[in-house]
Structure 1
Amino acid sequence: MADSLLNNKHLLWRAGFGVGINQIDDLKNKNNKTLINELFRADNFSEITYDTPDIIPTEDYMNSTAPAEKKKEMQRLNREQNNELNLNFLDKIVNSKEQMREKMAFFWHGHFASRVINPKFNQQLLNTIRKNALGNFKELLFEVSQSPAMLNFLNNQQNKKDHPNENFAREVMELFTMGRGNYTEKDVREGARAFTGWSYDKEGNFKERKNQHDEGSKTFLGKTGNFNGSDVLNIILEQKSTAKFITTKIYKFFVNENIDQNIIDTLSANFYNSGYDIKKLMTEIFSSTWFYNQKNIGNRIKSPVELMAGIMRILPMQIQNPENLIVYQKLLGQMLLYPPNVSGWVNGKAWIDSSTLMLRLQIPQIWSGLRPLEYSPRQDDDIDMGMKSKESALNKTFKNPNIIIDWNRVDTIFDSKNCEDYLIVNAKSLDMNTVNNFSDKSLKMNIINLMSTPEYQLM
């Protein structure tokens, strides 16, 4: 029994965002296959949107001659819409029954990292990633590569015949598909020529501008022809190195930073032969006995979004000021829709430094109203996203997070259960005496103290 509880916790954290409060009752007895099926369950797909109305620009507000107040208004609007997308994505992560879809989307969101100001483009890319998260990697790659967010972020509108811009072609190969060492600089140059003319219109529809496309013959990854961007993506997908690169990255994210080369070889061969079926690959991983090996359990540091989502899933809460959650993402170093660069977020130990660790350990107390927030964001105007000064980010409403937790419901659900069995993935590693010494014996304090342990940082 105990093992099935451990395995189920492990699975819920890796294939989703942790144990939900309504999953606690039958978690000990649930059959592993049943749980995998539940995680992969597909509902009707619903897009993430924002409610802040668009202003139809009568001119280009961002050009240098536009009046300052018009520019300001436009920036404010973009920020509001992007914040809504961020919070609506976080809401799906926390509350969606399709945990595997959102976890996989969260992975792809870091893999196909893009950072643009235009909320419409952000929304479209986010929904493309969510829609195809467990679908086919080829379709996902094509749709992402033709999305205005990515074409804009990687400068492909500047990629024209006679003046190729290599940025897009390079990142597609280095970060999205094959990884370094599997192509040459000549492949980058020739690939860039093939992508000339890939662009989009004002509405954000993909457009191939024929008059800007280089019609000449190109030699790319050993093949020669008058290739366009689609040909190049197809040739990249023919390379077994692409399947291996993606599989390795998925293994490091979902299983273990330290890879097992034999397992990777098997998984990537199956992934390649399935025609890049993502769902099949993930089912194979989560159904394998090696996934539940001791060395793969409780060895990953939760990313800030995983940490926040896990707390929100197990503690039923009403959040009066959801926008505060964006400030927490920022303070902890992982803001949805705002990866640090085109390589996405670095996982693992990179999440923990002296300032973020202290805040991580205090969030359960802050969110329960037991202590105020005493942190300021790092002074980094790049990520301040227009929050003029740290004071404005940490004004009065923020010091009190305005979160109401339904402790009565928590009491009922955890009645006669050991909280640590459900809150800590690898509860054996925890010294309960230390936790109890800090507790006033109430369930509430027990849970808050468990969530404030270093062990809770791991999944």
Structure 2
Amino acid sequence: MQHLAWRAGFGESLPVIEEWSHKKRKQIVDKVLIGREKDKSATLTLANPPETPDVPKGQMTKDEKKEKRQMEMQGIKDLNIAWINTMVNSEHPLREKMALFWHGHFASRSSRAVFSEQLLEVIRTNALGNFGDLLTGVSKSSAMLEYLNNKQNRKAHPNENFAREVMELFTLGRGNYTETDIKESARAFTGWSYDADGNFVFQEKAHDAGDKTFLGKTGDFNGDDILKILLENKQTAKFITAKIYKFFVDDMPDDAKINALADKFYASNYDIKELMRNIFMADWFYDPRYIGGHIKSPIELIVGLRRTIPVTFEKEEVMLSFQQILGQTLFYPPNVAGWPGGRNWIDSSSLMYRLQLPQMILYDKESDIKPKEITPEMGMMQYKEQATAQVNAAFKKQFNKKIKTDVNWQPYFKEYEKVSRENLAATITDTLLLTNKSVNKALLDSYADATSRESYIKSVTIAVMSTPEYQLC
């Protein structure tokens, strides 16, 4: 049950797991898929969105441009923190987990906070809905059209960036289309643009209205037609299913399982919720070889810890430093392919920091590990080296501030109130770890603070969270 809780969310408390253990799998999966009735976190908006000056950029002074960049950067930081807090407090963790997956699948960077906010809203709204609706919404978002240069895709001067990535990364996967398909679909996407507020705009004069031949079909196709043809291709269902399988089940693909799931996904007209139901209801999903075989992403690690132990930060921006040091900063993917995941999350510095993180947050300890640099992505016009340097400088400035937290241990202590003193170490270990539960409980006991029951629970919990095994789920 903890395996399901981590793969479909960010872990669950001991009482929830005990409650689940007395119910049928279908009841639990149904609950996971729909969330709790009182969930009110469906909409996520910036409390103080940056105000865009009416002055055209070309008429701004140097200081005005700098101020605008700083405002937009702060807006993206605020959006990052708002989403993290939503994940921590959500009554529908699967929606946030799916949104996190799609955030990496439809990776983009934008210099405009409102553009990033709009794209995130499209992703979260459709995270468990219909993939066709999600694909269309993302493809028409200002953030994606900006990121992949489609505003420059005009009849007289085609730009193929958007068309290429729609096939390579969003639908078919590399090797399932030709260069001609890229050129012809790029013509179909001419005229797809956006206004200053981030609304989708079709510029008819920029659109190539001639016939195109795409994936064996010929016609006067527009962008919507191209997306429809891509969805009609079963390879899209297989490619998406394979990526979801890797994210939610195992890094090593299993063609038989993926093909069976993809067939059902395609037959359901790309119903994402049904695909997830088929995964979570499958007997093989609970095979011991899949349990504890997933390295937590930095976001999973941070959110999971905070959902286990309620904690607030005096300066919430410190979560940005956590993300940067660990190698996953929301809204700043390394490139258009998103974060590679798996073993790529771990290197010598990030592993040491991961092991220190519970003590830093829950014991207010300091670390001397510095954040990694965010690098500009070549070819993306809106994301220049100057902006990248500003982002890194802002993160480093935040990193140098002392971490001050307010940890609310009482709800956590209450979870273990019925556990006997002699069974506390074993129960805590079994609840927090999904793999290698042979952690020496006697050793834990010898190093624990036994001055009180609460001190004992606290010290054992932090010790278990500081083990390499806690990095896995």
Structure 1 length as normaliser, TM-score?
A: 0.93
Q: Residues 396-441 of structure 1: CA distance to partner in whole angstroms, max 9, x if unpaired?
A: xx32x21121233322222315101211123535343444444334
1:57 aligned onto 2:66: no
Partner of 2:203: 209
What is the CA–CA distance in structure 1 between the aligned matches of 2:73 and 2:265, rounded to whole Å? 39
Partner of 2:467: 453
1:343 aligned onto 2:343: no
Q: Residues 138-161 of structure 1: CA distance to partner in whole angstroms, max 9, x if unpaired?
A: 010011001111000000011111
Do the aligned residues in 2 keep the contact of 1:24 with 1:413 (CA within 8 Å)?
no
Do the aligned residues in 2 keep the contact of 1:196 with 1:214 (CA within 8 Å)?
yes
Partner of 1:97: 91
| TM superposition shift of 1:29 | 3.2
What is the CA–CA distance in structure 2 between the aligned matches of 1:338 and 1:60, rounded to whole Å? 26
Instruction: Give the alignment partner of residue 457 of structure 2, picking from 420, 443, 457.
Output: 443
SS in 2 for 1:336: coil
What is the CA–CA distance in structure 1 between the aligned matches of 2:301 and 2:41, rounded to whole Å? 25
Partner of 2:348: 354
| TM superposition shift of 1:47 | 1.8
Deviates more, 1:381-390 or 1:251-260: 381-390
| TM superposition shift of 1:23 | 2.7
What is the CA–CA distance in structure 2 between the aligned matches of 1:229 and 1:370, rounded to whole Å? 52
| TM superposition shift of 1:74 | 0.8
Note closer, same or farther for the CA distance 1:226–1:381 as it changes in structure 2 (3 Å cut).
Answer: closer
Deviates more, 1:412-421 or 1:182-191: 412-421
1:308 aligned onto 2:302: yes
Partner of 2:430: 421
What is the CA–CA distance in structure 2 between the aligned matches of 1:379 and 1:428, rounded to whole Å? 36
Do the aligned residues in 2 keep the contact of 1:157 with 1:199 (CA within 8 Å)?
yes
Q: How does 1:355-370 map to 2 (within 5 A)?
A: 355-370=349-364
Q: How does 1:19-38 map to 2 (within 5 A)?
A: 19-20=12-13, 23=16, 26-38=19-31
| TM superposition shift of 1:53 | 4.5
Do the aligned residues in 2 keep the contact of 1:157 with 1:197 (CA within 8 Å)?
yes
Note closer, same or farther for the CA distance 1:34–1:384 as it changes in structure 2 (3 Å cut).
Answer: farther
Amino acid at match of 1:55: E
Amino acid at match of 1:419: I
Do the aligned residues in 2 keep the contact of 1:93 with 1:309 (CA within 8 Å)?
yes
Q: Residues 274-329 of structure 1: CA distance to partner in whole angstroms, max 9, x if unpaired?
A: 10000000000001000000111100000000000110001022322211111111
Note closer, same or farther for the CA distance 1:27–1:316 as it changes in structure 2 (3 Å cut).
Answer: farther
Do the aligned residues in 1 keep the contact of 2:193 with 2:200 (CA within 8 Å)?
yes
What is the CA–CA distance in structure 1 between the aligned matches of 2:142 and 2:191, rounded to whole Å? 13
SS in 1 for 2:159: coil
Partner of 1:326: 320
What is the CA–CA distance in structure 1 between the aligned matches of 2:157 and 2:392, rounded to whole Å? 38
Partner of 1:4: none
What is the CA–CA distance in structure 2 between the aligned matches of 1:451 and 1:33, rounded to whole Å? 31
What is the CA–CA distance in structure 2 between the aligned matches of 1:287 and 1:314, rounded to whole Å? 25
Note closer, same or farther for the CA distance 1:390–1:221 as it changes in structure 2 (3 Å cut).
Answer: closer
Instruction: Give the alignment partner of residue 213 of structure 2, picking from 192, 204, 219.
Output: 219
Q: How does 1:39-58 map to 2 (within 5 A)?
A: 39-42=32-35, 43=39, 46-58=42-54
1:196 aligned onto 2:190: yes
Instruction: Give the alignment partner of residue 409 of structure 2, picking from 407, 413, 416.
Output: 407
SS in 1 for 2:209: coil
Aligned identity (percent) is 46
SS in 2 for 1:216: coil
SS in 1 for 2:312: strand
Amino acid at match of 1:59: V
Do the aligned residues in 2 keep the contact of 1:423 with 1:451 (CA within 8 Å)?
yes
SS in 1 for 2:391: coil
| TM superposition shift of 1:376 | 1.4
Do the aligned residues in 1 keep the contact of 2:44 with 2:83 (CA within 8 Å)?
yes
Instruction: Give the alignment partner of residue 378 of structure 1, picking from 369, 372, 377.
Output: 372
Amino acid at match of 1:443: I
| TM superposition shift of 1:387 | 4.6
Deviates more, 1:444-453 or 1:366-375: 366-375
Note closer, same or farther for the CA distance 1:372–1:199 as it changes in structure 2 (3 Å cut).
Answer: same
Partner of 1:243: 237
1:274 aligned onto 2:268: yes
Q: How many residues align?
A: 447
Amino acid at match of 1:440: D
| TM superposition shift of 1:162 | 2.6
Partner of 2:382: none
What is the CA–CA distance in structure 2 between the aligned matches of 1:250 and 1:379, rounded to whole Å? 29
Note closer, same or farther for the CA distance 1:197–1:81 as it changes in structure 2 (3 Å cut).
Answer: same
Q: How does 1:66-215 map to 2 (within 5 A)?
A: 66-215=60-209
Note closer, same or farther for the CA distance 1:406–1:22 as it changes in structure 2 (3 Å cut).
Answer: farther
Note closer, same or farther for the CA distance 1:315–1:206 as it changes in structure 2 (3 Å cut).
Answer: same
Deviates more, 1:90-99 or 1:382-391: 382-391
Structure 2 length as normaliser, TM-score?
A: 0.90
| TM superposition shift of 1:66 | 2.4
Q: Residues 96-119 of structure 1: CA distance to partner in whole angstroms, max 9, x if unpaired?
A: 111111111110010000100111
| TM superposition shift of 1:22 | 6.2
Do the aligned residues in 2 keep the contact of 1:376 with 1:390 (CA within 8 Å)?
no
Do the aligned residues in 2 keep the contact of 1:318 with 1:403 (CA within 8 Å)?
yes
Do the aligned residues in 2 keep the contact of 1:332 with 1:360 (CA within 8 Å)?
yes
Q: Residues 56-115 of structure 1: CA distance to partner in whole angstroms, max 9, x if unpaired?
A: 412134x4x622221121112112211111111111111111111111111001000010
Please, which runs of 5 or more residues in structure 2 have no aligned partner?
377-387, 451-455
Q: Residues 363-418 of structure 1: CA distance to partner in whole angstroms, max 9, x if unpaired?
A: 111112252122211244656643537762333xx32x211212333222223151
| TM superposition shift of 1:224 | 0.7
Partner of 2:5: 12
Note closer, same or farther for the CA distance 1:19–1:232 as it changes in structure 2 (3 Å cut).
Answer: same
What is the CA–CA distance in structure 1 between the aligned matches of 2:207 and 2:125, rounded to whole Å? 30
SS in 1 for 2:434: coil
